[in-house]
Chain A
Amino acid sequence: MSEPRAFTTPSTPRYSPVVKTSMAFVVIALISLVFADISITTLDPWSEMERMAWGVATPDFTAVTDIVMVIIQTIAFALCGVALGAVGGFLLAQVFHIGPIRWGCAGVRAIHELFWALIFLQMLGLTPLTGVLAIAIPYAGICAKVYAETLEEAELPALAALPYGTGIISGFFYAHLPDVWVHIKNYTSYRFECGLRSSTVLGFVGLPTLGFYLETAFSEGNYSEAAALLIIFYILIATLRFWMRPKLVGLYVLVAPFLLGGGAAIDMANIVRFLTVDIVPAPLRSGSITAVETWENTKDWAGMLLFDQALPGMVATLLLTQIALVVTGVLALMLFPLISKKFFGRVPRLIGHVFLVVLRSTPEFILAYIFLQLWGPSMLPAIVALSLHNGAIIGHLVGRFSDEIRLRSDSPRGLNLYGFEILPRVYGQFLAFLFYRWEVIMRETAILGILGIATFGFYVDSALADIRLDRVMFLIGIMVFFNVAVDALSRHIRSRLRLSTQAGQA
């Protein structure tokens, strides 16, 4: 910017920071691809796919035993978890300006519901409380952040006119909260939809929700039953606004705790042992705390975990995350025209909507599980699952955004319309959504390890299988650190590129 260059035409085009950042991410993903493990290891993926397709074509609703109870319990876990998380998040939002509270929330939401479930399974056993807490704790962390940001955005003209001597609580409920109530309500109902997905997925670790029966059906090859369960799940999500009425929420939340089903009794001694013995690093547990040797051993223990497990797990997680992120982006850019009024008429859009709704409603964990059955353990099923799910979410948001663009009447059509008119206008929003999902994709990538892909979750799951809970906690701690770091990096890039979008939308 030093010398005037008004009269010289640059011979090469200069790229904007947005384009440069995008290119950098594509290059990183391509390099990651070189190191990634992508292969199809099953002997005959096509015949398996054929059997699955046949299952989808012939869903068998009679095969599912106690289907009503399964649905009720899936909803009950989501209700209890989200209600507890939302109330906890709301209270935390009031003190969110306090540093340690903010960091605590970031740490808590960096751990996937399934990891929480695995931790509580060790502590509380297979009890309803395990499922409820596995949803409530990370959701409290997420809700606290979004509620706090929402409350901060409130306009407060009424606060100045309050009578002298009005209490803080009365002032908050009258002059502050009502202004943002609609946003909080909408976000919480979105969270409940997420909660239904979480509740379903928790079945994969043994809780009595839809996921439990899905896993059984899949592993036994009963694809007709699996298809029926998935269809029930989609109907549940699609009819949400008909049965989740604002006036009934209170009643639902009151009844839900009694519908969680029984479970093993919670053993207090077990909890105490978990907190005081199990999670203490093994060398510290067995050795004398004053002996130099004990600390040497602990150092070796931490070094071993760090270099033999955390590091390879983290590298694989990062590789997979970066690839999935870029594929997600490409897919989103390909998918969003399907639902955009700028490109298609009513009927094709309707089909596009159904397609995107199915993809984004299916938890990525279940998608990954299905592709893993087809192709065997490698990064491929994870990449495809993550990209389809997240690509559909972002495609939906970008498609809706593109409807608001006003075009001149003689604008081009087809690919020219896409490339010259629409894409440049939606690209900023698109990148903002994508960077919001970055942290989510990474959290999901880590958890897919428990399906057998060599990401972080794989090492956590192996340590769990050996009942080495000290290792589990150590590894999860490192993962929290990485996740919070990616979140911070994403925020940094968004603010540098001046990308903004409404919080919590993506």
Chain B
Amino acid sequence: MLFKLSNENLGYDGGAVLHGISIEISKGERVALIGESGAGKSTLLSVLQDRHGGNTALIPQQPGLVRSLSVFHNVYMGSLHRHGAAYNILNLVWPRKSEIVRIRPIVERLGLGDKLFEPAGELSGGQQQRTAIARAILQGGDAVLGDEPVSAADNHQSRVILAALAETFPTVVLAMHDIDLALEFSTRIIGIKDGGIALDAPAAELTRSGLDFLYRQ
């Protein structure tokens, strides 16, 4: 079992409060969290991240980039834990060829190849989002927790991103707002409404119209 919550009340930093949450997510699952904005998807994701700690990568909604650093360095931050401080600082001042070779294909796949050495602060919102995704992919691990990682991507880009995430991580948990995409991509859908889990079912058993109730007042 990768993630496990049993009958817990969750709430943090003024975020949404969820009551009586029980979830078990095992290795190999691709989970989409859906629900209205403010329903508590981000809260749930950050609790999952906190509990698991170790070997998961995070894609925050605000991409969490260092604006003055290049795309290369922002992506490299996904591997800071694999190197000593001296090597990291050397690579900060003078990018290592071996790291560029490692990072370039990830960034190129996400369509940012020509931006590799541009400051992240000068990119568009969508490009910044993809930089954060590239960072998570470089980091790797048992699972990725993503908060609306494709909210600023078009249909084609979204599929490229989701495919890349699914290839890298055995387990994927993403908050998503595009229901069609969620049904297409995930193996399991968890719907959040009124401070609790209103739906938890395999994606194959669900239809688009069957999920509409999550967004009704």
B141 to A: closest C-beta gap in Å: 8
Q: How many angstroms from the CA of A164 to the CA of B52 in the assembled complex?
A: 10
- A166 to B80, Cβ gap below 8 A? yes
The reply on B78 being an interface residue by CB < 8 A is: yes
When C-beta atoms are compared, the residue in chain A nearest to B53 turns out to be: A164
A37 within 8 A of B: no
Which residues of B (40-64) have their CB < 8 Å from a CB of A? 53-60, 62-64
**Bound CA span A404–B56, Å:** 48
With A158-B77, A161-B64, A163-B57 as known contacts, state yes or no: A170 contacts B69, CB within 8 Å.
no
Is the C-beta of A35 less than 8 angstroms from some C-beta in chain B? Answer: no
Q: Which A residue sits closest to B139, measured CB to CB?
A: A163
Interface magnitude class on chain B: 20 to 34
Establish whether residues A163 and B88, one from each chain, have CB atoms under 8 Å apart when the complex forms: no
Complex contact B66–A158 (CB within 8 A):
yes
- Complex: A179 Cα to B58 Cα, angstroms: 21
Set of chain A residues within 8 Å of B84, measured between Cβ atoms: 167
| B81 in contact with A157 (CB, 8 Å) | no
Which among B54, B69, B73, B76 is the interface contact of A164 at CB below 8 angstroms? B54
Least CB distance from B152 to A in Å reads: 16
Contact-size category for A: 20 to 34
B residues near A161, Cβ cutoff 8 Å: 58-60, 64, 77, 132, 135
A182/B68 contact (C-beta < 8 A), A163-B81, A166-B80, A174-B88 known: yes
| 20 contacting pairs across A/B (C-beta < 8 A) | A157-B60, A161-B59, A161-B135, A162-B80, A163-B57, A163-B79, A163-B80, A164-B53, A167-B85, A171-B80, A173-B88, A174-B66, A174-B76, A174-B77, A174-B80, A174-B92, A175-B66, A178-B69, A179-B67, A182-B68
B83 contacts partner chain A, Cβ-Cβ < 8 Å: yes
Q: Which residue in B59, B69, B139 is a CB contact (below 8 Å) of A174?
A: B69
Contact check, B65 vs A170: say whether CB atoms are below 8 A apart. Answer: no
Residue in contact with A157 in the complex, picked from B54, B62, B83, CB distance below 8 Å: B62
Asked whether, in the complex, the Cβ of A178 is within 8 Å of the Cβ of B81, the reply is no
Q: State the CA gap A11–B56 with chains docked (Å).
A: 71
Q: Which residues 113-171 of B have a CB within 8 angstroms of A?
A: 132, 135, 139
Q: For the complex, is B89 an interface residue (Cβ under 8 Å from A)?
A: yes
A179 engages B77 (CB within 8 Å): no
Alpha-carbon separation in the docked complex, A175 to B69 (Å)? 9
The answer to whether A165 and B81 touch across the interface, beta carbons within 8 angstroms, is yes
B74 to chain A, nearest CB (A): 8
Query: Could you tell me the distance between the alpha carbons of A492 and B186 in the complex, rounded to whole angstroms?
Result: 59
Residues of B within 8 A of A173 (CB): 85, 88-89, 92
A171→B89 CA distance, assembly (Å): 10
Residues of B whose CB lies within 8 Å of any CB of A are 53-60, 62-69, 73-74, 76-81, 83-85, 88-89, 92, 132, 135, 139
When distances are taken between beta carbons in the complex, the residues of chain A under 8 Å from B77 are: 158, 161-163, 174-175
**Chain A interface secondary structure, helix, strand, loop or mixed?**
helix
Instruction: Look across to chain A and name the residue whose beta carbon is closest to the beta carbon of B57.
Output: A163
A-B CB proximity, top 6 nearest: A161-B64, A169-B85, A165-B81, A170-B88, A163-B81, A166-B80
Give which listed residue, A160, A166, A170, A178, contacts B66 with CB less than 8 A: A178
Chain A residues near B80: list those with CB within 8 A.
Answer: 162-163, 166-167, 170-171, 174
* B132: A residues at CB distance < 8 A: 161
Q: A164-B55, A167-B85, A170-B89 are in contact. List 15 more A-B contacts (CB 8 A).
A: A157-B62, A158-B65, A161-B58, A161-B77, A162-B81, A163-B57, A163-B79, A165-B54, A165-B81, A167-B84, A169-B88, A173-B85, A173-B88, A175-B77, A178-B73
User: Does A418 make an interface contact (CB < 8 A)?
Assistant: no
A179–B64 Cα distance when bound, in Å, is 12
Residue ID in chain B nearest A181 by CB atoms: B68
**Chain B contacts for A170, CB-based, 8 A:** 80-81, 83, 85, 88-89
* Cβ of A173 to closest chain B Cβ, rounded Å: 5
In the bound complex, residues from chain B placing their C-beta under 8 Å from that of A163 are 57, 77-81, 139
A186 smallest CB distance to B (angstroms): 13
A181–B132 CA distance with the chains assembled, in angstroms: 21
Nearest-neighbour CB distance to chain A for B46, whole angstroms, equals 9
CB closest residue in chain A, given B132: A161
B60: which A residues are within 8 A, CB to CB?
157, 160-161
